[in-house]
Amino acid sequence: MILTGAEIILECLLREGVEVMFGYPGGTILPTYDAMSKYPQLRHVLVRHEQGACHMADGYARATGKVGVALATSGPGATNLVTGIATAMMDSSPVVCITGQVPRAVIGSDAFQETDVTGITIPITKHNYLVTDIEEVAYTIREAFYIARTGRPGPVLIDIPKDVQNQKMEFVYPEGEIRLPGYAPPDSALDDDVRAALELINAAERPLILAGQGIIRAGATELLKALAERGQIPVALTLLGKGAMAEDHPMTLGMMGMHGAAAVNFAIQDADLLIALGMRFDDRVTGNLKTYAPHAKKIHVDIDPSEINKNVRVTVGIAGDVKTVIEQFLPGVRETTHPTWLNKIRDWQEDSDEREILNQDTGNRLLAAQVINDLWHATGGNAVTCTDVGQHQMLEAQYYPHQRPKTLITSGGLGTMGFGLPAAIGAKLGRPDEEVWAIAGDGGFQMTLCELATAVQENVNVNIAVINNGFLGMVRQWQELFHESRYNSTPMFSPDFVKLADAYGIPARRVTTRAEVAEAVEWARSIQGPTLIEFVVEKEDMVYPMVPAGADLHAMIRRPKPVQE
Amino acid sequence: MTETKSNNQILAALVENKPGVLNRVASLFRRRNFNINSLTVGRTHQPHISRMTITVDATRADARRIQANLYKLINVIRVEVVSTEPHVSRDLALVKVRSDDADSRNQLTELCERYPARIVDIGPKFAIVEITAQEDLVEDFIRALQPIGIVEMVRTGVVAMGRGVRILETDYEPAMTPTQANGHHVF
């Protein structure tokens, strides 16, 4: 079968099981767009900005566990992908980006729309390729998908010159084993390491599991639950680890870190053993490393060997697949209870309950926390939520408990504003049976709101909650706490979001009181196709608790207890 | 000849001989804030394999971190921290010095007897001396040349190899793509 390079690209995508790709055409990728006529099974979603394409592919990947695909042309098309690629890299999301490149003969001549995208993306991809001959197209795409989805997943970019897309060859799909001599993701743990870890686990009096996204990626949620139940070990979650363990499980404590639950952070600081599973001790999780978990021995299991001993020195470091390693642990974990330890944690939790804003009378004010909590109620806690970055994101983490893996999709590592809406579109296309909500602030929403048009054109049934406080809320919070309330460049004008949605043909409502929240959510759920609700909330609200950047984890700024009358 | 300055670690890496691999390694060191003292790269007896020697200002623990990070690069096949085990290391320098009077020429000749160095070019004004030795000996030699008058210098950077039966090798053979089978390289 004689195929062009462009046809081979699409042929290989089909063989990788790709159903949908997100992209934007242009000069150097045009042959591939032309070949799409021959491959109607591959759905192409036309985005409004390439950043959106990459976020959609990322959202699709996180919601499904499969590889997401983004397409762009050379030059500005490729550079527009960069934020999306870096987002996927920081959160280990399997995305393959295919970019057109100027013809080989003019590479290096500053040709129209030429940019060295492989050079640009070296630091933000797991791997990348410049394909210089049609013979290499199929091998490269196979390798790229393999690299993207295995080991610690991540984005892979393939840059393909236009003339290579137009070359022709007799096409034979390269079957057989992929041979990458320098690539061997670790799998099981050494017996000695398992023994050493089990000794620590069985001897611990105040053990705590720190569960991260690795649990979700590895499909190890059931095993994590078994481990926690067997050893009666409480579980703290990272932001991206939400969903790794059902949050209504009695052993689940909640989120750790900068805006984590106070009880969790106290527990970390008091624990005598941390069992870190598929997480990477990010600075937003540890606070001051010098005072972090001072009494704890540490077991760290991660698929990426370079994460072991990177930020936190550990007692037992295991580079391995977290699912396999927990399986190795389980038979050796002694069934036991830690009543004193669990009671101590319960006391901390009760103290937090007294400070809880939801338990206080807030008068006529509508708080973002209440919106998120009511959204959780109204959706039965069962929606896939895709957030932006900032206060609403942290409030989502605090007030929307997740029961299942792959239901919270958020930019944790890079902290990319504008992620929520495109990620939600990608997630919904990947999991059409799920109820999907994009939750964004007024700031982040305005960064990628052009994708509203994509949602309409593709009739994607996403509900959008814009939490509008008229500020870049989290930055304003930092200004209030650390810059004497000098609100430089954080008050933000926004268009009338309801009218804006109307201009796109999207049904929309504005909510200003708590009484309207649940009903508006129900209304949005009842409508096929995209909807938007603008929640006008308290302008100068805070997210508590908060560990200031670099401060000790136990030195949280907490919401004051209400004054007792 | 096995000791290295404690804060100077030597790593050896076998990498796929493909365009851009040097760029990937250099990019890794820059973005992880690892300080390279020298980096050399050259082909090996296996045409598809290149070998890099990298010296860094780092502790042993840092060197292990660098090793783990190098392994994250897909094109990096094997990495060893050579400096933690007995090894042989060499640096080569070409130094152009003044040779326009008898005194300077005598000094040069004398230094070349004391060091593993030789004069490889000599003219009425300048001479080029070559030294191949362990890095610190090269440093000594350069200091000794300074009073004569150095006008130009170039160094290869350190290359190193583990002693004895420790062999840094790979049995990897790349799959033949049709183009390669036809005799021309695609990368």
**For chain A, domain boundaries:** 2-170, 191-348, 368-536
Q: Is residue B113 part of a domain?
A: yes
Decide if B180 is inside a domain: no
> From A313, which residue of chain B is nearest by alpha-carbon distance?
B61
Residue B173: predicted pLDDT:
83
On whether both B62 and B116 belong to a single domain, the answer is no
Q: How confident is the model at residue A512, as a pLDDT?
A: 97
Residue-wise pLDDT for A297-319, tens only, equals 999 999 999 999 999 999 999 99
- Angle in degrees, 0-180, between the axes of helices A473-482 and A391-399, rounded to the nearest 10: 100
The answer to whether the Cβ–Cβ distance between B20 and A130 falls below 8 Å is: yes
Do B20 and B78 fall within a single domain?
A: yes
B128 in the same domain as B153: yes
Q: Is A178 exposed, middle or buried (0-12, 13-18, 19+ CB in 10 A)?
A: middle
Q: How far is CA B19 from CA A119, A129, B50, in A?
A: 12, 10, 11
pLDDT surpassing 80 at residue B128:
yes
Rounded CA gap, A314 and B46, in Å? Answer: 39
Count of the separate structural domains present in chain B: 2
DSSP, res A169 = E
Does residue B106 lie in a domain region? yes
In a domain, B52, yes or no: yes
- How does A67-93 read in b/e, with b if 16+ C-beta sit within 10 Å? bbbbbbbbbebbbbbbbbbbbbbbbbb
Catalytic (active site) residue A497: no
Residues A390-424: b if buried by 16+ CB within 10 A, e if exposed: bbbbbbbbbbbbbebbbbbbbbbbbbbbbbbbbbb
What CATH number should be reported for the domain holding residue B41? 3.30.70.260
- Smallest Cβ–Cβ distance between B24 and the set A122, A135, A305 belongs to A122
A191-348: same fold as A2-170?
Answer: yes
Closest CA to A244 of A267, A227, A264: A227
Q: Which of A118, A181, A183 sits opposite B20 (nearest CB)?
A: A118
Residues of A in contact with B179 (CB under 8 A): 133, 135-136
Statement to judge: residues B80 and B14 lie in one domain? yes
How far apart, in whole angstroms, are the C-alpha atoms of residue A190 and residue A375? 45
Q: What is this structure's pTM?
A: 0.95
Do B14 and B65 lie in a common domain? Answer: yes
Query: What CATH number matches the domain at A368-536, 3.30.70.360, 3.40.50.970, 3.40.50.2000, 3.30.420.240?
Result: 3.40.50.970
- The predicted pLDDT at position A214 comes to 98
Among chain B residues, CA nearest to A146:
B74
What's the confidence (pLDDT) of residue A362? 87
Asked if pLDDT for residue B3 goes beyond 60, the answer is: no
Could you tell me which residues come within 8 angstroms of residue A493 by beta carbon, excluding any fewer than 6 positions away? none
Alpha carbon A377 to chain centroid, angstroms:
23
Mean pLDDT, all residues of chain A: 97
Q: What is the separation, in whole angstroms, between the first and last Cα of chain A?
A: 83
- Asked if CATH classification 3.40.50.1220 holds for the domain at A191-348, the reply, yes or no, is yes
**E strand residue ranges, A380-514:** 384-387, 408-409, 436-441, 462-468, 508-511
CB contact under 8 A, B31 and A123: yes
Residue B99, in any domain of the structure: yes
- The answer to whether residues B116 and B151 belong to one domain is yes
Angstrom distance (rounded) from CA A411 to CA A418: 10
pLDDT band at A255; cut points 50, 70, 90? very high
Residue B71 shares a structural domain with residue B93? no
User: How far apart (Å, rounded) are the C-alpha atoms in residues A7 and B34?
Assistant: 43
Same-domain pairing of B57 and B110: no
pLDDT of residue A562: 82
Same domain, B120 and B143: yes
A327 assigned to active site: no
Q: Is the pLDDT of residue A565 over 70?
A: no
Phi, psi of A192 (to 5 degrees): -60, -40
Q: What is the mean pLDDT of residues A120-144?
A: 97
**Residue A552, Cβ density class (10 Å: 0-12 exposed, 13-18 middle, ≥19 buried):** middle
Q: Each residue of A501-548: pLDDT tens digit?
A: 999 999 999 999 999 999 999 999 999 999 999 999 999 999 999 999
Average pLDDT (A383-391) is 98
A242 Cα distance to chain centroid: 10
Q: A127 and chain B: CB distance < 8 Å anywhere?
A: yes
* Cross-chain residue pair B186–A180, CB shorter than 8 Å: no
Closest CA to A406 of A388, A390, A430: A430
Q: Which amino acid is at A225?
A: K
Placement of tokens 């949050």 in the chain: A247
**Residues B76, B12 share a domain:** yes
Write out the two tokens for B48: 């598809």
Position A564 scores a pLDDT of 64
pLDDT digits (tens, 9 = 90+) for A53-110: 999 999 999 999 999 999 999 999 999 999 999 999 999 999 999 999 999 999 999 9
Give the β-pairing of B49-57 and B36-43: antiparallel
In a domain, B54, yes or no: yes
Fold classified for A2-170 = Rossmann fold (3.40.50)
Which residues contact residue A407 at a Cβ distance below 8 angstroms, ignoring those fewer than 6 apart? A243, A382, A383, A384, A385, A434
- CA dihedral in degrees (A96, A100, A106, A109; nearest 10)? -70
What pLDDT, on the 0 to 100 scale, is given for residue B175? 67
Q: For residue A159, what is the enclosing H or E element? A: strand A156-161
pLDDT at A561: 84
Residues B74 and B97 in one domain: no
- In this structure, are residues A163 and A131 in contact, taking their beta carbons and an 8 Å threshold? no
Q: What span, in angstroms and rounded, lies between the C-alpha atoms of B115 and B132? A: 9
B155 domain-assigned: yes
Q: Which residues contact A526 (CB under 8 A, 6 or more apart)?
A: none
- What is the distance in angstroms between the Cα of A48 and the nearest Cα belonging to chain B? 31
> Do the beta carbons of residue B160 and residue B53 sit within 8 Å?
yes
Interface of A with B in 455-474 (CB under 8 A): none
Looking at the fold, whether B70 and B94 belong to one and the same domain comes out as no
Count of positions (residues) in chain A: 565
Query: Domain for residue B165, yes or no?
Result: no
For chains A and B, count residue pairs whose Cβ atoms are closer than 8 Å: 57
Residues B92, A423: Cα–Cα separation, whole Å = 54
Looking at chain B, how many residues does it have? 187
- Of A41-50, A358-367, B24-33, the range with the lowest mean pLDDT is A358-367
Probe site for chain B from A101, A135, A146, A312 (most B CB atoms < 10 A): A135
Q: Which of A256, A474, A546, A556 is catalytic?
A: A474
- Tell me the residue range of the domain where B153 lies: 88-160
Report the CATH number that the domain containing residue B108 is assigned in CATH. 3.30.70.1150
- Asked if A431 reaches chain B (Cβ–Cβ under 8 Å), the answer is no
CB contact under 8 A, A147 and B74: yes
Q: How far is Cα B105 from Cα B148, in angstroms, rounded to an integer?
A: 9
Beginning with the edge strand found earlier in the chain, give each strand of the sheet holding A436-441 in spatial order. Answer: A408-409, A384-387, A436-441, A462-468, A531-536, A508-511
E strand segments, A269-391: 273-277, 297-302, 316-319, 384-387
More confident: A221 or A179:
A221
The pLDDT assigned to B2 comes to 44
Distance of alpha carbon A319 from the chain centroid = 22
